[in-house]
A and B are shown apart, each in its own frame.
Chain A
Amino acid sequence: MGNLERTADDSALWLAYRNGDNEALGVLAERYYGALRRYGMKFYVDESIVEDCIQDLFLDLWQNRERISQTPSVKFYLFKAIRHSILGHMRYQQRFTNEESLDWDTSLPENFNAESLLIEQETLNSLVAQMHAHMETLPKREREALYLRYYENMSVADISGLMGVNRQSVSNFLQKGITRIRAKWFVTMVLNLFFF
């Protein structure tokens, strides 16, 4: 398949893999490795463990290729699988009792290149610090839903399938999360108008 593979869409690659093309699975692995790794590490799981989970996931996929069916969204399938295996690992470590006990990392990079986003560095730093404080007050599952929606561009339906909660709850999560950050933003803005 060669160069064709690089640009082929997920479902074509998935089909090829199920027909025994290991390079197709390799392309998918390469395509989603970074995203799966980033997602897994948000649960405060060690980098090495996340990487093991990803490797095991793809090796299992390969071993079981004859039993795997076609899926409407490869990305959803992979995220669901990695979430499952990371939770399994945490259960084994006795860190996981229920969804509520799941952690979600909201730490930030050490510095942002504000100029590359057309903003003054000081302005961005202080805004990020404010928003971060608001974010920290959100329940962990709301943080996860926000991440999946806005970083991973997932649909509400996929997020609800992934996190095992109904669609309405996901919509509520997103709605509540955003409005909570926004409500506080509004207050800050009004205060700024008065005092600066």
Chain B
Amino acid sequence: MDRPDYDLNTPEDFLQNDRFRDWVKYRLPEDRVFWEDFLNTYPEKRPVYERAVAMLLVIFGNEQASEAGEGAGRLREMLSTVASHTEVNRDQPLPLWRWLRWSAAAVLVIGLGFWWSRGARQAGITANGVVQAGQPAQSKWIVRENQSRAVMLVNLPDGSSVLLSKGSSIRFGKEMNDAERDVFLDGEGFFEVVKNPAKPFLVHTDKLTTRVLGTSFRVKSFPGQADAEVAVKTGKVAVVADGNDAAEPLMLYPNQRVSLIRKNDKFISSVTGPARNETTTPIETESFDFEFTPISEAFKTLETHYAVKIHFDQERMNNCTVTASLKDEPFLEKVRLICLATEASFVVNGDEVTISGAGCP
């Protein structure tokens, strides 16, 4: 491993190389000297080096290690406390700190819920303020309404998609470039949200607010009806009942559902296991798992679920297949990834998508 430079020719070679992986992971100064030298000696290998670095970074993903050090220290202390404890009294099962920790966590969750619902309300106020200050309302908001169709696809400016049910409408910012992505829903919509941890995505309705970072879920809250519902397909979401600042957000995980009855504005029956019921829409149970699936079949699946028309050259793309797991990708992302895999491009016009590609060998 001392002279990896002889045999580093493909991205795989780099990935297999311990020294390279350690460099990307830890970036130690002594390694920097080595790789600087490497790149100077073999400038032709730079493109491969850059690809390999990008591949590794993507495989590594988000570090999320900010507080790890603290937690490790705490655990170590805990172990020594427990150890000295067990010497004296071996059958004390649950040390006090474990209870304390849980109550601390509960307080934190309640606090966050309060902060979330406040944030949402403030966003609403600011928006109204802007409108009242004399700017034409159309300049900031887009409103889409589905009056007659079974479902209607709405692509949001951030790339997320919404399937709007009949009799529902949605309002969202033209740019969606605020600190939060706020959308206001009257009725029912199935959301597939582009992941962006830096910009939470909030769905406001008259009865509840749903907050996520990137996931897919359905919200139902028709004005004038007593009940509201949120059902999660992938990822996790936090739900807060409106008009109740002290409410704790309820965390929902895939295949969970919560119903809210307006009477006393409290979560009723909270989480019910597998979320299938009469209100479940077809897209919530579709996995969008394609394994060597003919492209015409994949497009058919998209057309069925998103109520769109996809135009493509049947004959030319006859040999193209799709292998991908697109469960929680928004509509546009699904189309983009399928096109990427088949070296095709696409144009969206309303609810029609036109694919153009050279076809597959």
Contacts and interface: CB of A to CB of B under 8 A. Distances in A.
A135 B61 CA distance: 10
A151 B256 contact: no
A112 to B, nearest CB: 6
Given A118-B32, A139-B325, A187 B72 contact: no
A109 B63 contact: yes
Interface extent on B, as a size class? Answer: 35 or more
Instruction: Identify whether the interface residues of B are mostly helix, strand, loop, or mixed.
Output: helix
B21 interface: yes
B21 A153 contact: yes
A142 to B, nearest CB: 9
Given A23-B80, A116-B27, A128-B54, A105 B11 contact: no
A171 interface: no
B300 interface: no
Contact of B59 (A41, A107, A150): A150
B58 A135 contact: yes
Instruction: Identify whether the interface residues of A are mostly helix, strand, loop, or mixed.
Output: helix
B51 A127 contact: yes
A54 B75 contact: yes
A9 interface: no
B50 A123 contact: yes
Contacts of B254: 95, 101, 103
Contact of B12 (A42, A110, A131, A178): A178
Interface string A137-152: 1111001001100110
Given A59-B79, A119-B53, A127-B54, A137 B341 contact: yes
A58 B80 CA distance: 11
A106 B61 contact: yes
B325 A140 contact: yes
Nearest to A129: B54
A133 interface: yes
15 contacts: A30-B72, A37-B64, A48-B105, A94-B255, A94-B256, A94-B273, A106-B61, A108-B57, A108-B58, A118-B32, A118-B35, A135-B59, A136-B329, A153-B18, A182-B10
